[in-house]
Structure 1
Amino acid sequence: MAQAPYLTWLYVPGDRPDVVAKALDSGADVVIVDLEDAVAPERKRYALDATAELLGERRRVPVHVRVNALDGPLAEAEVRRLTPLPGLDALRLPKVSGPGDVARVAGWAAHVPPLYALLESALGVENAHAVAMAHPAVAGLALGEADLRADLGVSDPAGLAWPRSRTVVAARAAGLAPPAQSVYPDIRDTEGLARSCAEGRALGFLGRTAIHPRQLPVIERAFLPTPAEVEAAHEVVGAARTEAGALSLPDGRFVDAAVVAAAHRTLALAGRASERRPRAPRSP
């Protein structure tokens, strides 16, 4: 069975090593150490030092780092310092507007790790596919919806429907994994988070970034397949083992390679329940 995709990505401030330590034990699939928005200007240097110390050794949970603005004074030094470290699993690049931003970061890196490009402007969304294809190290796209709302002047979530679909399509067209949804800012509204995740799943997103451990189980439940979906996936995979090329199931459904691949992903996700030990969320 294929390795299950990541579903939960937890942001933590880089200037709070105590919070980072708790995040690594929170049950999140990925911990994102943030050097950008979550860190005050006077704490940026300390955040970089603390993050470099953290990344001096590999962790059992993948650690990504969101660097500061690529056109600002800090990002280049952050990339040059962090990319040689063994504990860095990926970089998240904020406010990417075009493929040149990705190429610039790759030029700074001693060793180019996987790169996740955050699209946070109208220009970034327009260039989504070009960004996804900008460098072989690009591993994923994501929306930064707070800044995108401001850039577009959007006050209703419906105004983000096209940018969301554009990001999903661009990632798929580039052969990347489905993007994870942007953060849900109200950490107390778990019902609203669940509804929002269901909407995102219907659009083609897979998983979600979070800003508090209490959001993690809600996100995971929302993106895990239902028993009916698991049963259907088993039927597709079983039929594919016995027939080559396109095939038709007993109920008349047509199945091709893309449907079989989706079924394998469903079964990989279904395996998470038995592979992962339940954890109680811990507050930072």
Structure 2
Amino acid sequence: MITSSPFIHSYLFVPGNRPDRFAKACNAGAHAVIIDLEDAVAPADKTAARDALSNWLDSEEALANKVPILVRVNCVNSGCFGDDLHACRRPGVAGIVVPKAERVDDVSAASTGAPVYPLIETMLGFARITELAAAPRVNRLLFGTIDFKLDMGIDGDRDELLFFRSKIVLASRMAGLLPPVDGVSTEIDDDEKVEDDCNYARRIGFGGKLCIHPNQVPFVNRSFEPSPQKIEWANKIIHAAAAVGGGAIAVDGKLVDRPMLVMAQHIIEETLRKANTLTAN
């Protein structure tokens, strides 16, 4: 099962105490599903949610599932952390999401053999973003925008968070990680707003987005995957460059230099890798 891929863009949350929704989430079209033992589960239901996760992971339904399953465990000082990790020591768990990640030791403690996904949700976690990105077994950084805004006293989602988003993108790049995953859009029925949020995150360097409802998934997938128009553009650039043997060229009245050619090559390479991945699965 693929756990480290640039083609995993959409991460759909499902409450850990709703096992009836696990399979539905896996069939919603998301590239990965996050079973949530933390925020989505009331304190009195933590044990039941953990048991539900364990039972489902051992079921034939889960064994037949092809969608990567991540688990958001409770935070290190919650009193549930150790039990959550024990429940996650199964082949069906493709990654551990660590909420309110603030210390490298906490991230390291979350390693069960599966990749770790630190969720940056606090000012202290952000202040240590470089160290967290470089911690062992870290696969990708996630930005928990809602809790982060609360911790920072920020009111707003765009310019107000641009500095923080850009720093997370930079830290990911410097650590050699996949592009980070942006926080959820709280809108469920406002398709235009969800799509705009996705396009904005992609433009500033994010590689995916967290989802809280299946309705959001198609917009995330469409926004972060190369469009047919982009693929056509890339092919045109590559063919034009090949025809002249390299150097600067003009395509559709615009100058094309080496950076644009490299961008076009990346688009085609990613498209081919995705096609090969889908064929292999």
User: Normalised by the shorter chain, which TM-score bucket?
Assistant: 0.7 to 0.9
- Do the aligned partners of 2:53 and 2:87 also contact (CA within 8 Å) in 1? no
Select which of 11, 14, 32 maps to 1:12.
14
Amino acid of the residue matched to residue 228 of structure 2? P
Q: Provide the residue aligned with 1:97 in structure 2.
A: 102
- Do the aligned partners of 2:241 and 2:247 also contact (CA within 8 Å) in 1? no
Unaligned segments of structure 1, at least 5 residues:
277-284
What are the equivalent positions in structure 2 for 1:1-284 lying under 5 Å apart? 5-56=7-58, 58=63, 59-83=65-89, 85-106=90-111, 109=112, 112-135=113-136, 137-157=137-157, 158-235=159-236, 248-251=247-250, 252-255=255-258, 259=263, 262-264=266-268, 266-268=270-272
- 1:189-239 Cα deviation digits (max 9, x unpaired): 111111111111111112211111111112222223233421333356668
- Do the aligned partners of 2:231 and 2:268 also contact (CA within 8 Å) in 1? no
Amino acid of the residue matched to residue 224 of structure 2? F
2: CA distance, partners of 1:40 / 1:202: 36
Name the stretch that deviates more: 232-241 or 211-220: 232-241
Q: 1:150 to 1:239 in 2, by over 3 A?
A: same
Amino acid of the residue matched to residue 98 of structure 1? R
2: CA distance, partners of 1:114 / 1:237: 36
1: CA distance, partners of 2:80 / 2:244: 55
Q: Which has the higher contact order (CA 8 A, sep 6+)?
A: 1
Q: 1:22 to 1:253 in 2, by over 3 A?
A: same
- Do the aligned partners of 2:129 and 2:171 also contact (CA within 8 Å) in 1? yes
Compute the displacement of 1:270 (Å): 7.8
- Do the aligned partners of 1:230 and 1:266 also contact (CA within 8 Å) in 2? no
Task: Among all aligned residue pairs of Structure 1 and Structure 2, give the percentage whose two residues are the same amino acid.
Answer: 33
- Do the aligned partners of 2:72 and 2:97 also contact (CA within 8 Å) in 1? yes
SS of the aligned residue for 1:139 comes to coil
Amino acid of the residue matched to residue 95 of structure 2? A
2: CA distance, partners of 1:207 / 1:92: 15
- 1:72-126 Cα deviation digits (max 9, x unpaired): 200112112312x1211111010001322212223xx3xx201101000112112
Amino acid of the residue matched to residue 161 of structure 1? L
Q: Please list every run of at least 4 consecutive aligned residues from structure 1 whose deviation after the TM superposition is greater than 6 angstroms.
A: 239-244
2: CA distance, partners of 1:152 / 1:262: 37
- 1:144-198 Cα deviation digits (max 9, x unpaired): 1111001110012222111111111111111111112211112121111111111
SS of the aligned residue for 1:140 comes to coil
- Do the aligned partners of 1:10 and 1:211 also contact (CA within 8 Å) in 2? yes
Name the stretch that deviates more: 215-224 or 17-26: 215-224
The alignment's TM-score, normalised by the length of structure 1, stands at: 0.83
Q: 1:268 to 1:99 in 2, by over 3 A?
A: farther
Q: Provide the residue aligned with 1:279 in structure 2.
A: none
Q: CA RMSD in A?
A: 2.7
Compute the displacement of 1:242 (Å): 9.9
